[in-house]
């Protein structure tokens, strides 16, 4: 199993620089052909989400759409919680937002209660607002 870091994920999101985008596409095609998969961690998804907005001027919605598309590519796997969060409708305007929901999802997947000051998390299961 291999893992993609943010630089590779960003090539799929922004398709820039073109030669690296082509290289990333060729690499995932080669992986699929050999029966392998590439893992994208929650941390990498979070970093790519912010990088798309900060460095490339993407809206939240466009960044999330790009990440959702990548997460559904053959040969790409994410955590189950990331797949669930990325499938939520209106995620760009959801409160709590994408990264907070990833944090909550990971906490819940581990059987933990998430303790937070984030009032927007009040409707999430297994969450304690201080």
86-107 residue pLDDT tens: 999 999 999 999 999 999 999 9
Structural domain span for residue 25: 2-91
Q: What is the pLDDT of residue 94?
A: 96
pLDDT of residue 53: 98
Q: What does the pLDDT read at residue 112?
A: 98
The reported pTM is 0.94
Closest C-alpha among 52, 50, 36 to residue 4: 36
Looking at the structure of the chain, the number of domains it has is 1
Which contacts (CB < 8 Å, 24+ apart) does range 90-99 have? 91/64, 92/59, 92/60, 92/61, 92/64, 93/60, 95/120, 96/120, 96/121, 96/124, 97/60, 98/46, 98/49, 98/60, 98/64, 99/46, 99/49, 99/50
Is 78 contained in some domain? yes
The whole-number pLDDT of residue 87 equals: 96
Q: Are 45 and 3 in contact (CB under 8 A)?
A: no
> What is the pLDDT, as a whole number, of residue 77?
97
Residue 123 lies in a domain: no
């Amino acid at each position: 199993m291999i893992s993609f870091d943010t630089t590779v994920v960003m090539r799929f999101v922004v398709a820039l620089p073109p030669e690296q985008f082509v290289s990333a596409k060729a690499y995932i095609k080669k992986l699929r052909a050999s029966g392998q998969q590439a893992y994208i961690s929650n941390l990498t998804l979070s970093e790519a989400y912010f990088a798309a907005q900060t460095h490339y001027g993407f809206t939240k919605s466009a960044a999330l759409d790009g990440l959702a598309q990548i997460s559904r590519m053959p040969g790409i796997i994410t955590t189950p919680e990331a797949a669930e969060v990325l499938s939520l409708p209106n995620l760009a305007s959801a409160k709590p937002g994408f990264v907070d929901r990833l944090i909550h999802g990971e906490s819940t997947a581990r059987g933990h209660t998430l303790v937070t000051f984030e009032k927007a998390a009040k409707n999430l299961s297994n969450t304690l607002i201080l």
